[in-house]
Amino acid sequence: MILDQKKILYSWVYDVSLGDALANFHAHLSLIKHKYPLSIVYTIVNPRTYNTGVTNLLLNKGLIDFVYPFHMCKINEDSNYDFRNLIQNLDIDIIIHNNYSEIKCVELIKEMFVNKIHLQTSGCNYGLDDLFQYFNINYGNEYLSILKQCYHSNYIDEFVKKCIETSNNKKTIAIFSGSTRPFANIGKEGVTNIVKLINSLNMHAFLVGTSINNLYDTNNGVNWEKIYKNDYEGSTNIIGNNWIKIITLLNRVDMVITGPTGAAMIPPLINKKQIIILGGDSPIMEGCLDGYTLPEYTTKLKCMCENYPCESTINIKNQSLYDTCFNEKNPQCLNKNININDLKQLLISI
């Protein structure tokens, strides 16, 4: 299953103090969290407001998930192309325009997110639907009760609790898939094979990661959406949540599986044991793993491919196989021909 999580963009422009920021964030996002407690909230704030550290407080309780300190009115400047590309790739459901915004920024955001729900907070005159009216909440005792409950809630705990509920008390395995490197990519086929194995062992798989979109060069790299937007039967797909939520969940699972990518650095960071599936150009990761992590936290699943390692073409034995892996950006040893038998034995031993 893919966890049902609405994606919200919360935007304002003006600089406000820590206290005002705490009040405004909770005043408006309490309505969102009341209706969609598992929602993922992206927020764009004035850099000076960001400098108060208020967003760190809000990240740590899960009221917001991603923060971008940026002057939104400058979004169309050439120097901000990368940030515009990042924002436009967010699969947003609802945009909330704060009363600390301005009409120019509202119009820019409306142009970026056409056919989406745009709401304005109280005291605004942007010509948008009112936040309170949209959620059918009147300002009064009902709202004040929602506001106080939100202020005292920890939405990270709620998120993890919901995730664990989907496992039905089975042993749990978190999977980091994909890669920015084609020869390190555990793709859709590889994830499918791993999840099927986990299901057959009466365990439960979580697909984890913080981004659905690969903002690197996908002409030469990997299209993550082909992997991450799938609903793999018997698993829970929570890709797109932030690191605080992901790490909190990783602390609860029994084991982590990664490919030979940067994600292999994450489990040892929190002293969580992992199985790293070797294949493709995985020797690239050896320096990081050997130099930064303790070996007792990582079990390496050997690669059975005759071409391994294939970070170069010097010693390739099967050119046809190499060409297939290269052209499809999908190394067979991490997907179709993954070492499933040895992986099974490692999982059984948990």
Residue with tokens 């809000």: 58
Sort strands 94-97 and 171-176 into parallel, antiparallel or unpaired. unpaired
In Å, how far are 52, 173, 279, 285 from 301, measured between CA atoms?
46, 16, 9, 14
Amino acid at 200: S
Amino acid at 216: Y
Q: How far apart are the first and last CA of the chain?
A: 24
Question: Is residue 192 within 8 Å of residue 223, measured between CB atoms?
Answer: no
Question: What are the pLDDT digits (tens) for 107-142?
Answer: 999 999 999 999 999 888 899 999 999 999 988 899
How many CB atoms are located within 10 Å of the residue 180 CB?
A: 17
**4 backbone dihedrals φ, ψ, rounded to 5°:** -75, 105
Residues of the chain with pLDDT under 70: 217-221
- Cα–Cα nearest to 209, from 199, 220, 222, 196: 222
Q: Please tell me the predicted confidence (pLDDT) of residue 220.
A: 61
Report how far Cα 341 is from the mean position of its chain's Cα atoms. Answer: 30
DSSP state letter for 302: P
Instruction: Give the chain's largest Cα–Cα span.
Output: 73
Q: Is 44 helix (H, G, I), strand (E, B) or coil?
A: strand
Q: Please tell me the predicted confidence (pLDDT) of residue 100.
A: 77
Question: Is residue 59 within 8 Å of residue 25, measured between CB atoms?
Answer: no
- Cα–Cα nearest to 248, from 152, 151, 164, 175: 164
Q: Please give the helix or strand (H or E) that residue 245 lies within, else none.
A: helix 243-250
Report how far Cα 246 is from the mean position of its chain's Cα atoms. Answer: 8
Q: Please tell me the predicted confidence (pLDDT) of residue 155.
A: 97
- Cα–Cα nearest to 255, from 161, 350, 159, 178: 350
E strands, 196-304, in order: 203-207, 235-237, 255-258, 274-277, 298-301
DSSP state letter for 75: T
- CATH 3.40.50.2000, the chain: domain bounds: 159-348
- Cα–Cα nearest to 182, from 56, 45, 281, 272: 281
Question: What are the pLDDT digits (tens) for 132-181?
Answer: 999 999 888 999 999 999 999 999 999 999 999 999 999 999 999 999 88
DSSP state letter for 55: H
What is the assigned CATH class of domain 7-153?
alpha beta
DSSP state letter for 127: S
The Cα–Cα gap between 93 and 79 comes to 27
With a CB cutoff of 8 Å and minimum separation 6, the contacts of 349 are none
141 burial via Cβ count (<10 Å: 0-12, 13-18, 19+) = exposed
> Among the CATH numbers 2.60.40.420, 3.40.50.300, 3.30.70.260, 3.40.50.2000, which is that of 159-348?
3.40.50.2000
Q: Please tell me the predicted confidence (pLDDT) of residue 2.
A: 81
Q: Please give the helix or strand (H or E) that residue 129 lies within, else none.
A: strand 129-130
